Amino acid sequence: MPSLGEMLRAEREKKGLTLKDIENATNIRALYLEAIEQGNYSVSPGEVFLKGFIRNYANFLGLNGAEFVELYRQSRQTPPDPELQATGTGSEMVTPVSESSSEDAIKKWLFIAAFIVIVGGGTTWWLMGDSTGGEQLPGQPEPPVPPQVQTAPVAPVQPSQAATPTTPPAAVQPKPAAKPIVVVATFSTRSWTRVTADGKLVFEGTPQRGEILTWEAQKAMELRFGNAAAVELTYNGQFLGVQGRNGQVVVKNFTAR
């Protein structure tokens, strides 16, 4: 079965198109298009971008972009290691336990148990003898009560300074790691677009009608559209809808949280 790259190349050549023609129409660099056809996915700037490239490339050729993205996912799945699936087939070395070893172990535990009983009984006897030694034997006269001597009360000494309780420092809770920014733009018609991710220009052009583009940033992203009514945005899986009126210039900023 031909790979997805071979199917895309065959359809492109069938339509008489070059990689440069596809680049001009989809704003996907010919370098990435050629890498997709050859199955060299390491050239792509990222997983999200690569799936968007495959989808847009297939859609432009009149194919089903979603199906080609699914073919890519299936091609990237690693088959399970057959050695890990085989369970219980290997020979295991089991060392038999001799009866003499078992008897020695029983004797050892019986000796330890007897030692614990002897030591525990001796300790209990010593504690009982010590606790009863302090009791007064019957028949002995009670010790005389010493006469009470009245003394003048002593005024309490006021401390010069009250001790200030020390408040333990509050534990510092670690900040959760910020999620990356992923924005998907769906164009219902042509609109000039400029995208800056983490301070770098990552896209500037005019996407075509029906085109779907995806951008990713770690900290911040700014998107500028020349026709707000032509663009629907999805931010980190949340659908934001159409961005404005027809012909309206709009700027959208997203920050990682």
Full DSSP string of the chain: ---HHHHHHHHHHHTT--HHHHHHHH---HHHHHHHHHT-GGGSS-HHHHHHHHHHHHHHTTS-HHHHHHHHHHHHPPPPPHHHH--S-S----PPPPHHHHHHHHHHHHHHHHHHHHHHHHHHHHHHHHHHHTSPPTTPPPPPPPPP---PPPPPPPPSSPPPPPPPPPPPPPPPPPPPEEEEEEESS---EEEEETTEEEEEE-PPTT-EEEEEESSEEEEEES-GGGEEEEETTEEEEE-SSTT--EEEEEE--
What do you get for the CA distance between the two ends of the chain, in Å? 44
The last residue of a domain, from among 15, 41, 75: 75
The last residue of a domain, from among 21, 44, 75: 75
Query: For the domain that residue 8 is a member of, what is the CATH number?
Result: 1.10.260.40
Q: CA-CA distance, 51 to 41, in Å (whole number)?
A: 10
Show the CA angle centred on residue 224, arms to residues 182 and 59, nearest 5°: 60
- Say if 144 falls within a structural domain: no
* Whole-structure pTM value: 0.35
- Say if 217 falls within a structural domain: yes
Q: Which of 20-29, 97-106, 110-119, 236-245 has the lowest mean pLDDT?
A: 97-106
pLDDT confidence bin for 166, thresholds 50/70/90 = low
- Say if 68 falls within a structural domain: yes
**Taking 70 as the threshold, does the pLDDT of residue 68 lie above it?**
yes
- Say if 89 falls within a structural domain: no
Q: Supply the range of the domain harboring residue 234.
A: 181-255
- Say if 220 falls within a structural domain: yes
Task: For 98, list phi and psi in degrees, rounded to 5.
Answer: -75, 155
Full DSSP string of 124-167: HHHHHHHHHHTSPPTTPPPPPPPPP---PPPPPPPPSSPPPPPP
- Say if 106 falls within a structural domain: no
Indicate the number of domains in the chain.
2
The last residue of a domain, from among 34, 51, 75: 75
Handedness of CA 225, 231, 235, 238 (dihedral sign): positive
- Say if 13 falls within a structural domain: yes
Q: Are 207 and 187 in contact (CB under 8 A)?
A: yes
Show the CA angle centred on residue 33, arms to residues 29 and 39, nearest 5°: 140
- Say if 233 falls within a structural domain: yes
Percent of the chain clearing pLDDT 90 (strictly above)? 53
pLDDT confidence bin for 75, thresholds 50/70/90 = confident
Closest CA to 37 of 78, 3, 70: 3
Percent of the chain clearing pLDDT 70 (strictly above)? 61
Note the pLDDT tens digit of each residue in 3-35.
Answer: 888 999 999 999 999 999 999 999 999 999 999
